Amino acid sequence: MSSEIIFQKKNHLGTITLNRPKSLNALSYSMIQLMYQALKDWENDSEVLAVLVRGEGEKAFCTGGDIRNIYESFKSGRNEHTHFFRDEYILNEYIYTYPKPYIALMNGYVMGGGMGISQGASFRVLTEHSKISMPEVAIGFFPDVGGSYFLARCPGSVGDYLALSGVTLNGEDALYANLGDWILSSEQIPAFLEKLESLNSYSPTVDQVENALIDLGARSSPINPSLEEKRPTIDSLFSLDSVAEIIRQLDRTSVDGPIWIGETVELMKKRSPMAMVGALETIRRGRQLSISDCFAMELALGARWIEVGDFVEGIRALIIDKDSSPKWAFTLSELTKQKVEELFPSLLKIQ
């Protein structure tokens, strides 16, 4: 067993603990493989009534995949990164169809791949310390791990806004955005775990988990989410036809608008143009696709993206060299519809 990920079966609960707190519980390839196998084993284990996934430490549930290793695999000519994405998506999709209650305890940072192992959960449990984001455009990638599915199902154009800006949401806003189901006080986590370890086979497990949350004061409705106030502006601007048009209108609106609009447009001007175009395209296609079709689209697009996209350059600039000066391959004006279709012909096959 890898010390990076710990599996425990206690009474009727299977617990998966991501155990890389110094790396904010980022997922390595072996962790993905081991987690998938454990879930498979517990699916067929009559003693396991539910599965809980959590991150070690107080800072993070999971901040995504170990992109430094992905970068090193690509640069050295290995193909580990290809297997990583394929197996990660297999795990992510499996979670959506898992036959037993799967509980994601989303305390602290939840980013990228952390969203991949939490968004398909039966119970997505947030806390006041939750910090939720899909920041892929900052490193030249598009929101994957099912982002084309779950961001497409945020209210209005909130998913488009989150994907193109990469902004971080607190627990209340994540609940409002349909990226969580419950918000539980972090002080109640020990009591919640204790209740889960007391599950029995005499009543439906889902009801027992829900009752445990309610007993501990968890809420399924947000209180004063800032996104609610921003929502009319977000829906108006992020429903426009193209990234270029969205940025133009944000610029105009920021002159007399609230501070967050100017902050958003400045963020977007630093993001990879190709990544933002890809993000918008996949999310809008994702609204009409099943979860399986969304993962198939992301896998096909991702394989091509490594060859012609900004991902490797984004990792270099922000993670490896840390010069924060990525040289993006294209400007927005260069990314015409014809150019995008030429770069990513696989997108044409997804309707």
Q: Catalytic amino acids?
A: 65, 113, 136, 144
Angle at Cα 131 formed by Cα 254 and Cα 159, nearest 5°?
Answer: 55
Neighbours of 37 (CB within 10 A): 12
Count of alpha carbons within 13 Å of 135, Cβ hemisphere only?
21
Counted residue by residue, the chain has a size of 351
Give the span between the Cα atoms of 41 and 57, in whole angstroms. Answer: 26
Enumerate the β-bridge partners of residue 132: 110, 169
DSSP character for 104? E
Contact predicate 130/180, CB 8 Å: yes
Number of neighbouring beta carbons within 10 Å of residue 13: 23
Tokens of 311: 């991902």
Q: What is the CA radius of gyration of the chain?
A: 20
Taking each helix axis from N to C end, the angle separating 158-165 and 226-237, rounded to the nearest 10 degrees, works out to: 90
- Residue 246: closest CA among 225, 229, 267: 267
What CA–CA distance (Å, rounded) separates 32 from 167? 26
- Is the separation of the CB atoms in 41 and 77 below 8 Å? no
For the beta sheet containing 102-106, the strands, ordered from the edge strand earlier in sequence to the opposite edge, are 5-10, 13-18, 50-55, 102-106, 123-126, 182-183
- Under the phi-then-psi rule, with left for phi > 0, alpha for psi from -120 to 50, and beta for the rest, what region is 14? beta
